[in-house]
Amino acid sequence: MNRLTETLEGLGSAVILAVRAFASLPKAPRILKRTAEHGYYGGYTTLPIVAILSFFIGSVLALQAGITMKHFGAKQLIGILVGASMARELGPVMVAILLAGRVGSAVTAELASMKVYQEIDALVTMNIPPERLLVLPRLLAVLLLMPVLTIIANLIGWFGGAIVCAHVDFIGVDPTAYFQSIQRYLAVQDILDGLIKAEVFGFVVMLIACTTGLRTRGGPREIGFAVTKSVVVSLISILVLDYFITKALA
């Protein structure tokens, strides 16, 4: 029962935090500068890993598809298989998971530390709402960042698949044919669906990170617990939401 109450409290706090953050949008000074700073930090720290992982995910997808499709003589469809998988599913999910692990954890640690060391209380006494100063720029930054990272992940993933197709002997699909397959069968809507997912995942990950950080109570030990909780809840939320969004967009 306590667990349920705690979960519902957390959910309620997240909703209130988001509402308060966006309600303060008209009053937020220098919001563009702060949003750009957080966007830069998020992109800077996440992009290299996104690039590496998406390259290998695209490569593995092409490899697996090649192993299976050679039995059916459908190797020409590897392009669309990799293209659609990356655009609709793996691109946004992978970027969101990396965001949770790389940026979300750092945000939770920072806000939890500010809470434990009374910096949040100091802001409240100054009548500077933490939602405006600390949460809103991060939410806006992630909304700007996610589509960019996802498109980059898709492109690199497709490129990884193309290299495997060209250089693995038993696949032997020409990269031109590979990309023509993507061009022919992948609809713009597939890419847009992936970007919608990315936006929702990114927003939820950042909201969970901020809520968990700002709800931290106690001493330094709780900062560690908060980070773990933030990442775990984010990962679960990404996969649960993925199912429902996929169903809704189908």
Partner 1 sequence: MNASIKAPKPIVRVPRDDLSPVRVEVASLSKSFGPQTVLADISLSVAPGEIFTIMGPSGSGKSVLLRHIAGLETPTRGTVTINGQDPQLPATRDRFALALVFQAGALFNSLTVYENLALYPLERRIHSKADIHQRVMRALHILSIEGAAHKLPAELSGGMKKRVAIARALVMEPQLILFDEPTSELDPIMSATIAEIIATLKEQIAITTIVVSHDRDLALTISDRVAILHQGRLRAVEKPAALRQSPDPVIQDFLNPKIDIRHPRFKQLEASHE
For partner 1, the binding residue among 83, 104, 129, 213 (CB under 8 A) is 129
> What's the min distance (Å) between Cβ of 153 and partner 1?
29
If binding is defined by CB under 8 A, does position 117 make contact with partner 1?
yes
Q: Does 119 bind partner 1 (CB under 8 A)?
A: yes
Please give the structure tokens belonging to residue 119: 């910096």
The first and second tokens of residue 219, run together, are 């001493």
Buried b (16+ CB within 10 A) or exposed e, 188-216: eebbebbbebbbbbbbbbbbbbbbbbbbb
Number of neighbours of residue 243 by Cβ within 10 angstroms: 9
Please say which residue, 128 or 240, places its beta carbon nearer to partner 1: 128
Applying CB under 8 A, does 213 fall inside the site for partner 1?
A: no
Q: For 129-150, b where at least 16 C-beta lie within 10 A, e where not — what string?
A: bbbbbbbbbbbbbbbbbbbebb
Rounded-to-integer distance, Cα 116 and Cα 40, Å: 27
By CB under 8 A, name the one of 7, 118, 189, 246 that touches partner 1: 118
15 lies in the site for partner 1, by CB under 8 A: no
Identity of the residue, 130 or 157, whose beta carbon is nearer to partner 1 in the bound complex: 130
Please pick, from the candidates 121, 183, 187, 240, the single residue that binds partner 1 as defined by CB under 8 A. Answer: 121
- Interface contacts to partner 1, rule CB under 8 A: 29-30, 110, 113-114, 117-119, 121-122, 124-129, 133
